[in-house]
């Protein structure tokens, strides 16, 4: 504890909990969340996101609380709440501004507030600091200080974790930067990178995922082209991938809390400054349209198989935004479901990882048990969860009416060499 700071973490979701657990191995941490159910579950050792091992959670010294007054015991506050976009794809800073008000209400002289939530460049100092000042009656840069350290949590990834990924850190002055760096260096074994300014750190975060978004958009556009040519996209990528500097990206649905969201934070700020991005938004349009494209492909496959589209039954396997996680945030599988329903198709959705209550509340989707699925005219293999891959074609064919029909494998994970007789395979 060379940094001598007492830490609080505000927001105990996919980002905040791993942070709290890492620091909780060293010293008592105040873990705050506005969701009472989440707090009670964590007190009982229940961790629904799957990002933290229950044993690690049990070993960490964390005071879980919903009471903002408990935050006063800390002098280094890490804000790790979601920053989504609204239906118009505009940044929604409501969670981070509310968290700022909460922290500001207990802020005292000498405290440091570090934001990990994804924001556009300038948001920490232009949007969050004024809220801290109003709530506390203190002056930033004189009475308290702020920093920014972008989160790099990759849900479901057990190799690249909070402590093993280089941490970008920043502060509003040189002394704060060094304190922030020392705090994170105490737990992040991969080390830290000191960004020149807070705005630089904020910008680094949004371009990391914007770059990935654009590369995936290129793969998706290639898939649209190669499909018209009758060429398998993944065969092309396998061939091109033999060149040493060809980057390994695959086509697919782009959802989640980062890649499908962060570019809109950057383009929003750019538009505010009078520049209207073209390449970034073009990539977003391609990726946001892939669910509709997959649904239209499914309709064509049903027609080729001799089915009347209206009244057909399609089973969708997987509803989370990526495999082997329960995370439903910004899942683009919903686009497939909604488009198919617009055609008059009965859509059944199954996902062993997702929380049925959350799916119903957030998307109006009823997740069905496998035993309750009616025989389907087509199957869309949307999310290749490990449980699905272990059963492979045996599972997929058992869901089809008579074991025959079209199967749309979005990520190309089913074995193409062993497609059962009577099944027509389509891959993105």
Catalytic positions, written as ranges: 258
Contact indicator for 298, 340 with CB cutoff of 8 Å: yes
DSSP 103-155: HHTT--TT-EEEE-S---TTHIIIIIHHHHHHHH---BTTTBEEEE------T
CA-CA-CA-CA dihedral for 130, 132, 135, 138, to nearest 10: -90
Coil vs helix vs strand at 31: strand
Is 297:224 a contact under the CB 8 Å cutoff? no
148: left (phi over 0), alpha (psi -120 to 50) or beta: beta
What are the φ/ψ torsions at residue 112 (nearest 5 degrees)? Answer: -125, 135
**What residues form DSSP beta bridges with 335?**
none
| Other beta carbons within 10 Å of 285 | 10
Contact 170, 147 (CB under 8 A): yes
Structure tokens at 190: 């991969």
């Amino acid at each position: 504890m060379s940094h001598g700071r007492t830490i609080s973490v505000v927001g105990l979701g996919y980002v905040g909990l791993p942070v709290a657990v890492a620091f909780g191995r060293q010293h008592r941490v105040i873990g705050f969340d506005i969701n009472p159910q989440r707090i009670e579950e964590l007190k009982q050792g229940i961790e629904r996101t799957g990002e933290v091992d229950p044993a690690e959670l049990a070993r960490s010294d964390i005071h879980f609380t919903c009471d903002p007054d408990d935050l006063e015991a800390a002098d280094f506050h890490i804000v790790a709440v979601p920053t989504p976009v609204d239906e118009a794809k505009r940044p929604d800073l409501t969670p981070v501004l509310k968290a700022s008000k909460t922290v500001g209400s207990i802020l005292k002289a000498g405290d440091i507030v570090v934001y990990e939530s994804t924001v556009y460049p300038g948001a920490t100092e232009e949007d969050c600091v004024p809220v801290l000042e109003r709530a506390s009656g203190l002056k930033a840069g004189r009475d308290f200080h702020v920093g920014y350290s972008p989160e790099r949590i990759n849900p479901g990834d057990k190799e690249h974790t909070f402590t093993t990924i280089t941490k970008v850190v920043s502060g509003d002055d040189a002394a704060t930067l060094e304190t922030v760096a020392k705090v994170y260096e105490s737990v992040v074994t991969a080390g830290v990178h000191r960004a020149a300014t807070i705005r630089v750190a904020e910008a680094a975060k949004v371009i990391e995922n914007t770059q990935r978004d654009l590369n995936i958009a290129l793969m998706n556009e290639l898939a649209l082209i190669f499909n018209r040519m009758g060429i398998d996209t993944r065969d092309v990528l396998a061939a091109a991938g033999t060149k040493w500097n060809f980057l390994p990206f695959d086509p697919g649905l782009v959802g989640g809390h980062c890649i499908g969201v962060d570019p809109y934070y950057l383009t929003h700020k750019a538009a505010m400054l009078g520049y209207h991005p073209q390449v970034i938004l073009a990539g977003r349009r391609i990726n946001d349209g892939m669910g509709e494209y997959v649904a239209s492909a499914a309709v064509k496959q049903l027609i080729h198989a001799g089915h009347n589209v209206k009244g057909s039954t399609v089973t969708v396997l997987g509803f989370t935004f990526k495999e082997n996680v329960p995370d439903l945030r910004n899942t683009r599988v919903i686009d497939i479901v909604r488009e198919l329903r617009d055609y008059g198709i009965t859509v059944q959705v199954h996902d062993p990882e997702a929380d049925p209550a959350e799916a119903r509340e957030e998307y109006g989707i009823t997740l069905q048990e496998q035993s309750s699925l009616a025989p389907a005219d087509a199957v869309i293999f949307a999310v290749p969860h490990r449980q699905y891959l272990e059963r492979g074609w045996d599972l997929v064919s058992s869901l089809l009416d008579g074991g025959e029909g079209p199967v749309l494998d979005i990520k190309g994970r089913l074995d193409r060499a062993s497609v059962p007789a009577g099944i027509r395979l389509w891959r993105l």
